[in-house]
A and B are shown apart, each in its own frame.
Chain A
């Protein structure tokens, strides 16, 4: 029996109110708000956050493969999954691949993971994330959202078994983006609606339910990643599905999060699911994928590290102006400071556990944790008596701080904090997702994986502190 054994999700802290877009551009605005990856986040850093949560919540993580799915990979060449895995401290002995090219990359990666563990055992991790970028004034700018989800598939302690799945692949021109283009193009909406979404959704749901031998009325929850609300409504009527069972599309709070969206919606409904419940998950793009999940007894006791509900509530606004700067849609005057140096390959490889996993050291002679990892103990000066000691999952308190208005940032001012970790260890680093005026000595912080900057095409990932979410 193969299925989900753990999951995590991630919604960035920042929200862009749709009304704020309308106000600046003088166009009609939708209701609600969309989640926005901060200036220091991307589809890799968010996937890493979700995967860390999934691993933390897993009863006995022993991952044997990792698939990273997104339509917005930070690297076109270079394995993005390797970065995600390094941040989540997965072992080297795993198979890893990137799955991209279409928003269905997310659900199809999940289906492949389920099939692979069913066939050959082990645990398959899937991390999905997207930063949906639409051109100003376009529909996607408002309807899109940023977020991530991650799952661990396995065959033991399964929370939700994959009872059946179905896939369809059709070639048609709906949404496309050539290499080097930032914004996707779309064909006329009626074409996709009448010729793709509606027929494909109907067929994929029918096929999946038939394979699972589940009647529409037996579904407890329907996770429908529908690019078009009207298509969804029509289809529900025709398939005799109860609209009350349809999961929150997160349209008003997060927006459509691309390859991560179906997965994110699923992580939002799983905490309330009861053993025996059946959940249908379906998505359409360049064809369609669907699966029927049966919720198993271990689900009753499972708690995600950060629930979607908690992440939706934990938020702060971003102005439309800052959003445009963060996405480099609005060019800004360069600072009168030198460009940051590209991080160097050999030092990054030498310090990979530190840089990507925030693994420091602990002196076995005196017990003092320290970071970055040291060879001579800062406290007792014992030489080469260190053992690895992770800080990524530790919380700490602010010992002092600096609000740097001179440093160049896409979101000035830069807040730097000195953190004293619970259990020992001190670190000086940047703090993100915070309101600078409210930072105070003694505040509690946790660590988050971020993209500090990009220089010469090299993304510099490292860790920052954030207020506890």
Chain B
């Protein structure tokens, strides 16, 4: 019984990503077609070369037909997967395992979400018929539960805590301003973020990720085949995914300053990749900053900062683009936007660009190991995905 991982056995040879944002003129079909054809072109393969597909979407369609129909995929396996906001990462994980197993030579993972057609503000989820007792809280409220708990535990005054959250949003907007595919490509002054209208105290609207449409895709092959297609592929070092027992809402032992699921998936991923000191060994990370307190807590759960100190690292610029460990160099969910099924693959797209030196004005200096982290659910009750990728084998 062990999670053995598939270190260096699978490579990404091509990726595509649409601009994220309010695509009033594009359907989910249009977005998938754009991302898929960009990925085909990037890998230098034809659509008929891809043997199998994993499509991640939370609500923009059901079954493999959601993808095979618009792409006219010729009688090949297409699996639709869903794992809440970690759906995109889940599709990648399945595609990687499929080629690693030898069942297929080339697989595509693609994620899509079309959120702006609903007519509702914020994210809308449908639930199975129930007894009317589950709490119906909005996502910002669920994640805002972290803030008072974290502030109290580590002795941050409310205003100081708010400054920490504000700086996280400021940093991600600053990075997104250097990204032509981000939903919001503008730096936002600290005081504008701090004074933005309250959504779920202490979170303002500027502490929330963007509701957007978008799609992203990756083509994967076995590592030994990578150079047939691509000069500079990136290699999968670790893929970890866990679903928690949802102890948070049930157990007094959970204190709302951590995601145990993230701790578990990070531990697993680091073991697979052979990482012992993530703060020093990881060159860059894309983490699930759905709301600013999430990123704060994640930086501790992922081992980037010792417990209770991420807020200091945030304030000192440790996670800035020019800091020691840049977090969300592409702008993150905050600034790049969060089309649910696409987000996990969008994170990987930044790894792809950065490791190949294609990240333009936000290019980091020769990143070697990158991490993506994607979660779905709420504090104390979530699924978590962690991947580690590298530019080299070994």
Contact = CB atoms under 8 A, between A and B. Distances in A.
Contact of A343 (B132, B152, B256): B132
Residue from A372, A425, A428 whose CB has the most chain B CB atoms within 10 Å: A428
B277 interface: no
A94 interface: no
Nearest to B124: A338
Given A378-B251, A427-B249, A400 B132 contact: no
A344 B131 contact: yes
A441 B156 CA distance: 14
A285 B353 CA distance: 81
A300 interface: no
B376 interface: no
Nearest to A350: B131
Contacts of B138: 404, 406-407
B133 A354 contact: yes
Interface in B321-371: none
A441 B148 contact: yes
A29 to B, nearest CB: 34
B130 A426 contact: no
A465 to B, nearest CB: 11
A348 B145 CA distance: 28
B132 A462 contact: yes
B225 interface: no
A402 B142 contact: yes
Nearest to A455: B132
A7 B199 CA distance: 43
A326 B152 CA distance: 35
B144 interface: yes
Nearest to B125: A338
B342 to A, nearest CB: 22
A441 B144 contact: no
B256 A399 contact: yes
A352 to B, nearest CB: 9
A343 B200 CA distance: 26
Nearest to A436: B201
A411 interface: no
B50 interface: no
Contacts of A403: 141, 144, 198, 200-201
B135 A343 contact: no
A409 to B, nearest CB: 10
Contacts of B146: 400
A430 interface: yes
A407 B136 contact: yes
Nearest to A371: B250
B133 A426 contact: no
A119 B120 CA distance: 60
A416 B137 contact: yes
Given A403-B200, A427-B249, A355 B140 contact: no
B250 A370 contact: yes
Given A341-B129, A416-B135, A400 B140 contact: no
Residue from B129, B148, B149, B250 whose CB has the most chain A CB atoms within 10 Å: B250
Interface string B245-258: 10101111011100
A148 interface: no
Contacts of B145: 400-402, 416, 418
Interface residues of B, number: 37
A337 B122 contact: yes
A59 interface: no
B121 interface: yes
Contact of B141 (A351, A407, A427, A436): A407
B119 interface: yes
Contacts of A371: 250
Contact of B130 (A344, A407, A428): A344
Contacts of A348: 131-132
B254 to A, nearest CB: 8
Contacts of B3: none
B74 interface: no
Nearest to B152: A441
Contacts of B131: 343-344, 347-348, 350-351, 354-355
A347 B132 CA distance: 9
A441 B158 CA distance: 13
Given A400-B148, A414-B141, A337 B133 contact: no
Given A402-B145, A416-B141, A426 B256 contact: no
Given A401-B145, A402-B144, A404-B137, A374 B250 contact: yes
Interface string B236-276: 00000000010101111011100000000000000000000
A424 B250 CA distance: 10
A404 B141 contact: yes
Contacts of A414: 137, 141
Interface in A415-469: 416, 418, 420, 424-430, 436, 441, 452, 460-462
Contact of A405 (B135, B199, B247, B249): B199
A424 B252 CA distance: 7
A340 interface: yes
A190 interface: no
A399 B127 contact: no
A452 B137 CA distance: 13
Interface in B122-175: 122, 124, 127, 129-133, 135-138, 140-142, 144-146, 148-149, 152
Contacts of B124: 337-338
Interface string A188-205: 000000000000000000
A240 interface: no
Given A402-B145, A403-B200, A426 B252 contact: yes
Given A337-B124, A452-B132, A400 B141 contact: no
B127 A341 contact: yes
A340 B129 CA distance: 11
Contact of B133 (A372, A399, A407, A441): A372
Contact of A337 (B121, B149, B254, B255): B121
Contact of A378 (B141, B200, B245): B245
Interface in B215-249: 245, 247, 249
B8 to A, nearest CB: 36
A420 B255 CA distance: 11
B252 A402 contact: no
Interface of B: 119-122, 124, 127, 129-133, 135-138, 140-142, 144-146, 148-149, 152, 198-201, 245, 247, 249-252, 254-256
Given A341-B129, A348-B132, 10 more contacts: A336-B119, A337-B124, A344-B131, A348-B131, A406-B121, A418-B249, A424-B252, A425-B252, A426-B252, A441-B152
26 contacts: A343-B132, A346-B129, A347-B129, A347-B130, A347-B131, A355-B131, A370-B251, A372-B133, A374-B250, A378-B245, A399-B256, A402-B137, A402-B141, A403-B141, A404-B137, A404-B140, A404-B144, A404-B200, A405-B201, A406-B122, A406-B199, A413-B201, A416-B145, A426-B249, A426-B254, A460-B132
What 10 pairs across the A-B complex have the smallest Cβ distances?
A343-B132, A404-B141, A344-B129, A347-B131, A403-B201, A460-B132, A402-B141, A400-B149, A406-B138, A428-B249
